[in-house]
Structure 1
Amino acid sequence: MSVTIRQKLFYPLFATIIALGLLCWFAINWQLSALRKDFIYRIAENKKNEITQSIIMSSQQALEKASLFTRMPSVIRAFEMAHSGNIEDEADPKGQQAREMLRTELKPMLDGFFSISAHKLKLHFHLSGGHSLVRLWQDKQINRNGQWIDISDDLSEYRNTVTDVNRMGRPVKGIELGRVGFAIRGIAPIISSAGKQLGSVEVAVEIEPLLKAASDTEKQKLLLYMNAELVPFGSYQDPDKYPVIEKKYVLIAGEKAEKASAELSLLDMGKEKLSIAYKDDHAIAAFPVRDYRDKQIGVIAFFSDISQERYLTRSVNLTLNGILVVMLAVIGIMGSLILSVILVKPVKQITQFSKSLSDGDLTQVIMTDHIRHKDEMTELAEILNAMSASLNRMIRDIALGIDTLATSVHQISAEVDQQVSIALEQSASVSEITATMSELLASSVQIAENSDAVARTAEIALQNTKSGAEWVELVISKMNRINDDNQNTVRKIISLGKKSEEIEKIMEIINNIADQTKLIAFNAALEASSAGEAGKRFGVVAVEIRRLAENVTESTGDIESRITEIREAVQDMIIASEKGSKRIQEGLEHSGQTAVKLKDIVKGAESTATAAKQISLSTRQQKTASEQI
C-alpha cells in the first residue's frame, strides 16, 4: 500500500493538532475546575469568618450588656442581701428576697428592652458559690418534676463559665453548652465596693438566629451539629426533633431535609479544619465550633447551591473548547493548503520528471525560471536538471567507449588464441613437475619423521645432561661440606695436641714435687732414727710418705707414656687429615672441571635440540610447500 507525501505530512500534522487540542482541553478543564474549587473555598472561608466574627461580636455585645449591671447599686444591694444568708442553701430566704428585689428593680429596664427588640433579654445573675440567683427572662427559676419553683439551683456541675468568672474574677465571653444547648454568653463579675467577689451577671444570646441571619438566601443553608457525647448535658434528647448522625453528631439547628447531605466523613474532617465536599449541584463545607476555652464541641455545615457557578463554568468551558476547535481547524486547513502549494505541487512535477528519466526521455526539463523565491524544492529541481544533462553527456561517452571496447575485444581474442597454444605446452611441463614434486613430497615426509625423532632424542639428551650437571653441583656442595668438616677436625686434633703438651708440663711439675717429697721423707727418716724411740712413729710416717711419693712417680710415668702415645696418635691423625684434605681439594677441583664440562655439554645439547627443532620445522614447512605445489 503506497502512501503519498501529502498523507505522510498530513497525518503527523493531524495527530499533532489532535494532541495539542487534547492537551489544551485538559488544561482548560483543569484550570476551570481549580478556579471553581478556589472560588467555592473562598465562599466557604468567608462564610466561616463571617460566622466566627458574628459569634465574637455577639459575645462581646452580650458582655457589654452584662457589664451595665455590675455596678448598679440595686444589684449590689440584692447580692449583699443574698450573702447575708446562706448562699449554699438553694432555698435560703435571703436569696429569695434578693431575687424579688432584682425582679422589682430591673423590671422597667427589661420591659423597655422587650418593647424595642420584641424578645426578652436573657439576663442571669449568679452567686459566687456557683448557684443561680435569678433568671430574669423567666417567672420562676427552674422546672423540677413538672413544677416551676423559685430556688438558687446549683450551676457548678455544667456551667464552667460561671465557676471560672467567680474563681478568677475576670469576665468571660464565647460559646458554652448549657442545659438549653449552645448559647453565646457574656459574663462579668460583680464586686462590692469593698472589693469582695459577690457573684456574676450573664447575658445569653441564642446561636440559631445568628445562623439564620448568615443563611441570607435560598441558595445557602447552615446546619449546626453538636458532638453526640455532649448530649447528656443538653436538652437534645429527642431523636425525632434532633436527629442523630451515626451516634457521633446531633443536628440541633437547621432544616432536617438537609441533614442527609452532610456525610459523616465530611463532619469528621470538619472537626479539625475547614473541609469541602461536592454533591450534585451543592458544595458542602464543614468547620469546627469551639467554646470559650477553644475546645471543639460541634460542627457547622454550610450548604451552597453552585448550580449557577457550574453552569457558568460549563458555558466558559464550551466556549473555550469551541474556540480551540475552530483555531485548530483553521491551523489544520491552512497547513494543508500551504503544504499543497509549497511542497506537494513541486513534488508532483519532480515525480513526473523522474518518471520520464526512467523511461529514457532525457529531453525533459523542470521549469524553474518563473519561481522568484528559491527554496529546497527549487534547488532539488535544478539539481535534477543538472543530473539529466550529466546523464546525456555520460551516455554519449559510453557509446564512444563501447566502440573502442569492441575493437579491443577483437584484438584480445587473437591474443587469447595464441595464449591457448602456449598453455597446452605448459600443461605437459606441469605434469612432469607434478610427478617430481610427488617424489619430493615422499622424501620430505620421511625426512620430517627422522627430524622429529632426532629432535626428541636431542631433547632427552638435553634433559639427562641437565640432570647430570645438577648432580655434579650437588656433589661439589657435599664435598665442600666434607672439606669444612675435615678442617674443623684438624683444628680440634691440633688443639688436643696442645692440651697433651700442657699435661706433660703439669706431670713434670708433679714429678719434681714427688722427688722433693722423697728427699724430704728420706731426711725425715734420718732425723727419726737419730731421735731414737721418740722419733720411731715419725719415721714410720716418713716411710709412708716416701712410698706415696714413689707411687706418684710411677703413676706420672704411666701417664707420660699414655700422653706420648696420644701425641703420636694426634700426629698420625694430623698427617692423615692433611692427606684427606689434599684428596678432597683435588676432588673439588676435578668436580669443578667436570661441572664446567657438563655446562658446556648442556649448552651443546641445547644447541643440538634447537637445531633439531629448526630442522624438523623446516622439514615440515618443506613438506607443506611440496603438498601445496
Structure 2
Amino acid sequence: MFHKFRLWAKIMVVMGIAIGGVGAVLTFTNLANMTRLVHSAERSALDAHLKAINNAIAAENRTAEALSALVAQMPLVQEKFDSGDRKALADLFVPAFKTLAQDYGVEQFQFHTPPATSWLRVHMPQKFGDDLSSFRFTVVAANQAQKPVRGLEGGVAGLGARGIVPVQHHGKHLGTVEFGMGFGQPFFDHFKQQNGVDAGLHLLDKASNGFKTLAATYGKEPLLDGATLARAMAGEPQLDHRSLQDKPLAIYAAAVKDFSGKPIGVIEIAMDASAFQSSLDASRTTALVVGVASILLGMVLAQWMARHIIGRLQTVATGVEHVARGDLSSTIAVPGVDEVADLAAATRAMQDKLRALVAEVSGNAARVHAAAQEITGAVEGQAATSTQMSSSVAEITTTMEELSASSTQIADHSRSVVDIANQTLEGSRKGSEAMQTVLGRMNDIRNDNQHSLQEIVALGAKSKQISRVMELINTVADQTKLIAFNAALEASSAGEAGKRFSVVAGEIRRLADSVTDSTREIEAKISEIQDSIARLVITSEKGATGIAAGLSASAHATERLNDIVSAASHTSSAAQQISLSTQQQKTASSQVVIALREIVTASSHTAQSITRISQVSKEMSQLSARLDELVHQFKLGAPPAGQA
C-alpha cells in the first residue's frame, strides 16, 4: 500500500509519524517528569512534616530526661531514696505533679529499684502507689548501664515519651527516676494546629496482626491499607493519594521507633494536595498544547520540504523522460548543491555521453553501411567474372576432351600414318591451329584467374577492415553497456524517483545488447566470408597451377604438331617417329583434360563461394541499415561545449 503513494505523500506520512511520535514521547516524558516532580515535592513536604513530628517526639523525650536528671541530682531526693523514705518523696512530689502535668505535659513519674521494680509512682489521673508488678526494658537498661535512657515505650499508662536517669548517693547506685510525657491525641492535635496537616499514629496489634490507631486527627481508621502500612513499618516510607470529602490528599507513612530503635508502629501524615494537583493539571495542559502545536508546525514544515524536494525531482524526471523518448537535445537544469542537483548533473553528464556515443555510432553505422554496399558491388562483379570464367573453362574442357579423343584415334591408327601421311599433314595443321586456339584460351583463363585472385585478395583486405569496424562498434556497445550499468546504479540509489531513469538505462542497455548481437552476427558472416575467401584463394592458386600445366602441355602439343607437320612432309621412314609422337600427344592430352576438369571443379567452388559472399554482404548491408535506423531514433541537439 505504501509503495503506491507519491513521494511527497510518503515524506509527509513518514515525517508526520516521526514528528507525532517524537511529540507524543516528549509530551508523555514531560508529563511523567512533571508528575514525578510534583510527587517529589509532595514527598519532600511530607517528609519535612515527618521530621517535625520526630523532632517533637525527640523534644518530648529530652524534656522527660531533663526532668528526670533534675530530680535525680537533688541531694534530698538521693538521701530519702537511699533511706527508703517513700512518704517523704511522695510529700515532696505529689503536690507538684499537677503543676508538672499542666505546664510540661507530664503524665507520670516513678522511682525504680533495680532491676525494674516500681518503688514510687505518680500519674494522671492523679494517683500514686507502690505497684511492684510492672516490668519495663527501659528501666532495666538504665539500671544495668547506670546511664540515662530516653525514648518511646509502652507501659501501664500506655505509649509515652520516657526519660530515665540513674540515681546515686555517695557513689552507690540506688535505682532510677523516670518522667513520662504525654504522647496521644493532644500531641497530634497540637501538631495539626501548628503545621496545618493531619497526622496519626497506628501501633502494631500482635493479637490481630494488624494496626490499631493510637491517635489521629482524621478519624479512628488508617487512611492507607494494611499492606501499605506494613511496608512503611518495614522501613520503606510510602507515598499515596486519596480523596477525603472530595479533597485530594497526599498521604505519607513511615515507621516510628521506640527507645531501642525497634519499629513499634506507623505515623501517617495527610496533606492537602490541591495546590500540587492544580500545578500538575496546568503543566499537563501546557504540555499537551505545546505538543500539538509542535506536531502541527512540524507537519507544515514537512509539507513545505516535501514539495520543495518533489519540485526539484520533477524537473529531473521531466528531463529523463525526454531522454527516454530519444530526445537528447534538452538540458536538465536544477540549481543548488544538494543531492538532487548532483543527480541532475549526473543526468546531464549521461546525456552528453549518450549524445556523443549516438553521434559516433551513427557515423560508424554510416561507414559500415557504405563499406557493406561496396563489398556487395565488388562481390557481384566477382560473381559475374567467376561465372564467365567457369563457362570458358567448361568450353575448353569440351575442346580438350575432343582433342583427347582425336589423339586417341591418332594413336590407334599411328601404324597407318605412312599410308595417309598427306592426310596426317593436313590434320596436323588443323591440330596445330586448334592448339594455338587452346593456347590463346588458356592464356585468357590464366589472366582471368590472376584477376580473380587479385579481386579475392582485395576482398579479404576489405573484410578485415570491416572486422576492425565491427571491433569499434563492439567497443562502443560495451561502453554503452557500462554507461547503462552506471545509470542503473544511480537510478537504484535514487530509490523511487530513479525508477523512470532505470527504465531509460534498461532501454539503452537493450539497445547496446542489440547492437552487440548485430555486430556479432556481422562478425560471424565476415568470418564466413574470410573463410570462403581463403578457400577461394587456395582453389584459385590450384587453378593457376593447373592452367600453367595446361599452357605448358598446350605449348608442348603445339611443338609436336609442328613436328608432325614437318614429319608429314618427309618420307614414310619417319612413320615410327610420328607414331611415337602421337603416343606422347595422347598422354599430354589426357593430362590437359584432367587439369581442365580440376579447373572446372575449382571454378564451381569459386562460384559457390562468391555467391555465399554475396549473400553475406547483402545481410551485412541489411544489418548496417538496421543499425543506422536504430541510431536515428535519437534526436541530437547541438553538441556539448568543447566538442566538435
TM-score (norm 2): 0.51
- Seen in structure 2, the aligned counterparts of structure 1 residues 385 and 297 have a Cα distance that, compared at 3 Å, is closer
Structure-2 change in CA distance of 1:111 and 1:16 (3 Å): closer
Among 260, 263, 270, the alignment partner of 1:293 is 260
Q: Structure 2 residue aligned with 1:152, among 130, 155, 179? A: 130
Q: Map Cα deviations across residues 559-581 of structure 1 (whole Å, 9 max, x no partner).
A: xxxxxxxxxxxxxxxxxxxxxxx
Report which stretch shifted further, 328-337 or 396-405: 396-405
Secondary structure, aligned partner of 1:178? coil
Asked whether the equivalents of residues 38 and 280 of structure 2 are also in contact (C-alpha less than 8 Å), the reply is: yes
Contact residue 125 and residue 135 of structure 1 kept, 8 A:
no
Amino acid at match of 2:149: V
Q: Does 1:265 align with 2:227?
A: yes
2:127 maps to which residue? 140
Look up the match of 1:248.
210
Measure, in 2, the Cα distance between the counterparts of 1:48 and 1:274: 14
Structure with more contact order per residue of length (Cα contacts < 8 Å, sep ≥ 6):
2
Are residues 136 and 38 of structure 1, via their aligned partners in 2, closer, same or farther at CA, if it must alter by over 3 Å? Answer: closer
Which residue of structure 2 lines up, in the alignment, with residue 101 of structure 1? 91
Give the counterpart of 1:314 among 281, 292, 300. 281
Q: Is contact 2:192–2:217 with CA below 8 Å preserved after alignment?
A: no
Offset at residue 203 of structure 1 (A): 1.9
Query: Is residue 222 from structure 1 mapped to residue 222 from structure 2 by the alignment?
Result: no
- After superposition, where does 1:152-551 map in structure 2 within 5 Å? 152-157=130-135, 159-192=136-169, 194-208=170-184, 209-216=186-193, 220-229=197-206, 247-255=209-217, 257=219, 259-280=221-242, 281-341=248-308, 343-367=309-333, 371=335, 373-410=336-373, 415=379
* 1:3 Cα offset (Å): 3.3
* Residue of structure 2 aligned with 1:60, choices 56, 59, 62: 62
Report the Cα offset of residue 351 of structure 1.
2.0
**How many residues are paired up?**
380
Structure 1 residue matching 2:159: 3-state secondary structure:
strand
Q: 1:346 deviation in Å?
A: 1.8
Shift of 1:413: 5.8
- TM-score of the aligned structures, taking structure 1 as reference length: 0.52
The aligned counterpart of 2:16 is: 14
Structure 1: distance between partners of 2:293 and 2:210:
54
* Contact 1:124–1:201 (Cα < 8 Å) also in 2: yes
In 2, Cα distance between equivalents of 1:76 and 1:255: 42
Q: Measured at CA, do residues 155 and 47 of structure 1 come closer, stay the same or move farther in structure 2, by a change above 3 Å?
A: farther
Paired with 1:167 and 1:374, the residues of 2 have a C-alpha distance of 92
Q: CA RMSD in A?
A: 3.9
* Corresponding residue for residue 542 of structure 1: none
Measured in 1, the distance between the counterparts of 2:204 and 2:346 equals 89
2:34 is aligned to 32
Instruction: Tell me, yes or no, if the aligned pair for 1:62 and 1:185 is still in contact at 8 Å.
Output: yes
Q: Specify the alignment match of 1:42 in structure 2.
A: 44
Distance 1:102 1:166, change over 3 A: farther
1:36/1:411 Cα in 2 relative to 1: closer, same or farther (>3 Å)? same
Q: Match of 2:585?
A: none
> Cα offset for 1:56?
1.8
What amino acid does structure 2 have at the position aligned with 1:57? A
Amino acid at match of 2:322: S
Tell me what 2:117 maps to: 130
Looking at structure 2, the residues matched to 255 and 57 of structure 1 have their Cα atoms a distance apart, in angstroms, of 21
Give the C-alpha shift of residue 6 in structure 1: 1.8
Partner of 1:584: none
Match of 1:433 in 2: none
Gaps of 5+ in 1: 85-94, 142-150, 232-245, 427-629
**CA distances 1:176-230 after superposition (whole Å, capped 9, x unpaired):** 10122210011223333x444444332211222333344458973322122213x
Contact 1:219 1:305 in 2 (8 A): no
Contact kept, 8 Å, 1:276 with 1:283, in 2: the verdict is no
| Structure 1 pair 219–26 and aligned structure 2 pair: CA distance change class (3 A) | farther
Query: 2: distance between equivalents of 1:164 and 1:395?
Result: 112
CA distance in 1, matches of 2:176, 2:288: 66
- CA offsets 1:50-96 (integer angstroms, 9 cap, x no match): 22222222111111122332344554565356x26xxxxxxxxxx5x
Q: Which runs of 5+ in 2 are unaligned?
A: 243-247, 384-527, 536-644
Change (3 A) 1:74 1:44: same
| Separation in structure 2 between the aligned mates of residue 59 and residue 260 of structure 1, nearest angstrom | 26
Percent pairwise identity = 19
Instruction: Report Cα offsets for 1:141-168 as digits up to 9, x if no partner.
Output: 3xxxxxxxxx4111443x3333443454
Deviation at 1:130, TM superposition (A): 1.1
Q: Radius of gyration: which is bigger?
A: 1
Deviation at 1:112, TM superposition (A): 4.8
Provide Cα deviations, 1:251-292, integer angstroms capped at 9, x if missing partner.
Answer: 111156473532222222222313214244444333222221
Conservation of the 8 A alpha-carbon contact between 1:220 and 1:304: yes
Quick one: distance in 1 between partners of 2:46 and 2:259? 23
Residue identity opposite 1:274 in structure 2: E
